[in-house]
Structure 1
Amino acid sequence: MKKINLLLMHVLLWLSIAFSQASELNRANLNDTLFKQNIEKAIKNIILILEKEYIYPEKALLVKAELKRKLANKEFDKVSDWYSFIRSLSVILRDISGDMYLDIVEPHPSLTLEKVKRKSALNLKDSYIIRNVDLLSGNVGYIKVNYFYQTSNAKKEIFRALKELSMVDALIIDLRDTEGDSIPLAQYLMSFFIKESTILSEVLYDQQKKKKRLRALETSGNDKFKHNFPIYILTSSYLSSSGEFFSYTLQHLKKAFIVGENTMGIAHVLQNKKINNHISLTIPIAIHLHPATHSNWEKTGVIPDLDIAANLSVDAAHKMAKQYLGIF
């Protein structure tokens, strides 16, 4: 029940963000006149994108049929402004597909809603990928990951941090507040702990007709990290996207012990597709599958090995690491 309530909270948060953005858009340019040809063209473009890009082709067909039915029955004739059109389309897309990620939003080709919301809060002081590196008692290393954003110095920061901790006997990786959705950067970080060329994930795309394998990279890091080395990953209920990819992958490759809370459960790769100058379509275009489980963390989240409140996870992981090392 706790997990269901938490998931519902996240869905409502997502919806509130979407509608607040639509409201901002309304003040900006939704006073433009909405003509019948605007509606017909927008629906045609949405259908084309769904048929070409949507990861679930069978759902695309259902949405296409419903949009065409409503158009033929002139149900959109009742819609008189862009804001109402956005709201009407969003309801149709979600109701027919059952997909909470499928949405109509403000045009922004390169960023998802969540990324727009969080990116705006960044400033020069906290823009580093690694927020904190520390040495805890018992020679246990601690590293706090700030963001999974692909910046010019991102890989250098990770390399320097792990080099600084190269002499530790155990490692705690704190992802509780980690933001961002750079899969390549998560792939790079986990490659320090996995033998080169090991399959990390299979990404299904092109409506599940194609598959790309993500493998561990060559990192020139400390080789001892790749063997029987104790790693503890801290999670929270707000961890999503790349942070979940990192945690789930290492957990199921039996390379890390997860301490903390169930994560959000977002395994889809989302992209924004511009429909016209007024609206854009947020659409899942790919999804991860783990080579060992042949599944992912969608909806269930990454399930911790030790379920404990996020604010207690540092002490819990530190204690476990020292016990593993025989330090009491």
Structure 2
Amino acid sequence: MTTLTKLQPAPVIDETTRLLTEHYVFPDIAEQLAALLHRRLAEGAYDVDDAEEFARLVTEDLQSANGDRHLRLKHHVDPVPPKQGAANLAAIRRDFDNSLGGAPRVELLNGGVAVLELAPMLFPLEWAAEPLGAALTLASRAQALIIDLRANRGGDPDAVAFVCSYLLDERTHLNSMYWRAGDRTEQSWSLPHVPGARFGGTKPLYVLSSAHTFSAAEELAYDLQQLGRAVVVGERTRGGAHPCEGWTVHPHLEATVPVGRAINPVSGTNWEGTGVQPDVPCAAADSLTQAHTLALAQLAG
């Protein structure tokens, strides 16, 4: 059990609310939440000894206004590095090294249908370009492709654009991101050139989703669905469309605050709160079989 020994909840709440008001993409909600957290602190709601329980209580309050699942006070068993954004980097690197760079499975099913699993996340593109490019090039020879995102918890939007680039024929506007800092909007486009071979923009493409699919993995599914490029098969995803940054606020606690929001060029909105709605709803455990059946039928037709 990690405790709040030598550090009372008040300084953590003060720093967390400061970060909220300065960085959260919705300033009005940030003000409401800051007031809520200070009121809850004064009421003694956070008078607990366990840092993990404290993080859970604060996270519940942070998500109470609009259900933003990226807005959290996150507990870490090991001490958190003080540098901004560094809290998860070592763990992410271990996941990268243990998952073939985020492409742990490429398999050819019968009928010329390939399955490419992207998990446990879409890693930073400076790490992942080589393994993702290799896996996508290998899968490019298939007659149909199933991308499995059921166990993908999110990651790098640049990796989303990189993957999409192998699945389209022309440079395409995929998504836009509004950033509170600078009050600016940036567009994300597929790449004009990719290393290796493209699967292309015409062969059958399916994406598998689950209730655990989150964040950047949702963007990948949503972008391809909105473009009419892929059929999403499986469960409604978790619903997190706000990129966030993390700040250390205690040796074992990290405040993650969304600093932007996605705006899809087709729908004009995003998947925040609603998740990506599958085109073919079914249990995640059955989605691979379902997508394979659909792909075979499409190829036969």
What range is the shorter-chain TM-score in? 0.7 to 0.9
Change (3 A) 1:138 1:278: closer
Matches within 5 A, 1:22-33: 24-26=1-3, 30-32=4-6
Change (3 A) 1:208 1:199: farther
Runs of 5+ consecutive residues of structure 1 not aligned to the other structure: 1-23
Quote the residue 1:323 is aligned against: 297
Match of 2:105 among 129, 132, 154: 132
Cα deviations by residue, 1:270-311 (Å, 9 ceiling, x for unpaired): 222233546442212122111100111112211111112222
Cα deviations by residue, 1:139-158 (Å, 9 ceiling, x for unpaired): 22222223312276522222
CA distance in 2, matches of 1:103, 1:91: 8
* Bigger Cα displacement from structure 2, 253-262 vs 194-203: 194-203
Quote the residue 2:71 is aligned against: 102
- TM-score, normalised with respect to structure 1: 0.74
CA distance in 2, matches of 1:49, 1:69: 17
The residue type equivalent to 1:218 in the other structure is: P
- Say if 2:158 is the partner of 1:188: no
State the 1:234 CA deviation. 1.4
Matches within 5 A, 1:31-110: 31-32=5-6, 34=8, 39=10, 42-66=12-36, 83=51, 89-90=58-59, 92-95=61-64, 99-106=68-75, 107=80, 109-110=84-85
CA distance in 1, matches of 2:57, 2:282: 41
Identity %: 27
Change (3 A) 1:301 1:31: same
Runs of 5+ consecutive residues of structure 2 not aligned to the other structure: none
- TM-score, normalised with respect to structure 2: 0.80
Q: RMSD in angstroms over aligned alpha carbons?
A: 3.5
How many pairs does the alignment contain? 292
Which is greater in Rg?
1
- Alignment check: 8 A CA contact 1:45 1:275 kept: yes
The residue type equivalent to 1:25 in the other structure is: T
Change (3 A) 1:90 1:255: closer
- Say if 2:215 is the partner of 1:246: no
- Say if 2:149 is the partner of 1:163: no
CA distance in 1, matches of 2:37, 2:5: 24
Q: Counterpart of 1:275 in 2: which secondary structure?
A: strand
CA distance in 2, matches of 1:257, 1:85: 41
CA distance in 2, matches of 1:250, 1:256: 5
Change (3 A) 1:257 1:111: farther
* Bigger Cα displacement from structure 2, 93-102 vs 264-273: 93-102
